[in-house]
Amino acid sequence: MANITYIEASGQSTTINLYEGWSLMQGATANGIDGILGECGGSCACATCHCYVDEARLADLSPATESELQMLDNVAAERRPNSRLACQIKSTAMLEGLVIHLPATQE
- Which 3 state secondary structure label does DSSP give 4? strand
The yes or no reply on residue 72 touching ligand FES (CB under 6 A) is no
Q: How far is the CB of 13 from ligand FES (least distance, A)?
A: 21
Residue nearest to ligand FES (CB): 87
Report, in Å, the least distance between residue 79 CB and ligand FES: 14
Among 104, 100, 12, residue whose Cα is nearest residue 56: 100
Q: Tell me how crowded residue 107 is: count the other CB atoms within 10 A of its CB.
A: 11
CB hemisphere CA count around 83 (13 angstroms): 20
Question: In this chain, which of 2, 46, 51, 61 binds ligand FES, going by CB under 6 A?
Answer: 46
| For ligand FES, the closer CB: 56 or 78 | 78
Helix (H/G/I), strand (E/B), else coil: 44: coil
Using the contact rule CB under 6 A, the part of the chain among 9-17, 32-40, 59-67, 96-104 near ligand FES is 32-40
